[in-house]
Amino acid sequence: MLRPTRAPLAVLTACLALTALTALPASAAAAPAAPLAAPDIPLDRLTGQLADLAAIAEANGGNRAHGRPGYTASVDHLQEQLDAAGFETVRQEFTQSGVTGYNLIAEWPQAATDEILMTGAHLDSVVSGAGISDNGSGSAAVLEVALAVAESGLTPERRLRFGWWGAEELGMVGSRHYVDSLTDQELASFSAYLNADMVASPNAGYFVYDDDPAIEAVFADWFTAQGVTTEAAAEVRGRSDHVAFDGVGIPVGGVFTGAGRVMTAAQAAQWGGEEGLAFDPCYHQACDGLDNIDETALDRNADALAHAVWELGS
Residues annotated as catalytic are 168
Q: Cα–Cα distance between 11 and 8 in angstroms, integer?
A: 6
Choice between 87 and 245, CB closer to Zn ion: 245
CB of 201 to Zn ion, least distance (A): 11
Does position 125 interact with Zn ion (CB under 5 A)? The reply is: no
> Binding residue for Zn ion (CB under 5 A) from 197, 216, 246, 280?
197
> Binding residue for Zn ion (CB under 5 A) from 60, 72, 133, 135?
135
Stretch that binds Zn ion, among 28-36, 59-67, 128-136, 176-184 (CB under 5 A): 128-136
The angle formed by the CA atoms of residues 199, 161 and 219, to the nearest 5 degrees, is: 40
Note whether 63 and 127 are within 8 A (CB): yes
Stretch that binds Zn ion, among 13-21, 93-101, 191-199, 302-310 (CB under 5 A): 191-199
Amino acid sitting at position 285: Q
Does position 134 interact with Zn ion (CB under 5 A)? The reply is: yes
Choice between 193 and 310, CB closer to Zn ion: 193
Does position 288 interact with Zn ion (CB under 5 A)? The reply is: no
Does position 230 interact with Zn ion (CB under 5 A)? The reply is: no
Q: What is the 3-state secondary structure (H, E, C) of 198-249?
A: CCCCCCCCCEECCCCHHHHHHHHHHHHHCCCCCEECCCCCCCCCHHHHHHCC
Q: Which residues pair with 287 in a beta bridge?
A: none
Choice between 196 and 215, CB closer to Zn ion: 196
CB of 168 to Zn ion, least distance (A): 6
Sheet holding 159-165, edge to edge: 88-96, 99-107, 159-165, 116-122, 190-196, 252-256, 207-208, 231-232
Stretch that binds Zn ion, among 3-11, 102-110, 134-142, 146-154 (CB under 5 A): 134-142
Burial 234-253 (b: 16+ CB within 10 A, else e): eebbeebbbbbbbeeebbbb
The number of residues making up the chain comes to 314
CB of 24 to Zn ion, least distance (A): 37
Residues that bind Zn ion (CB under 5 A): 134-135, 197
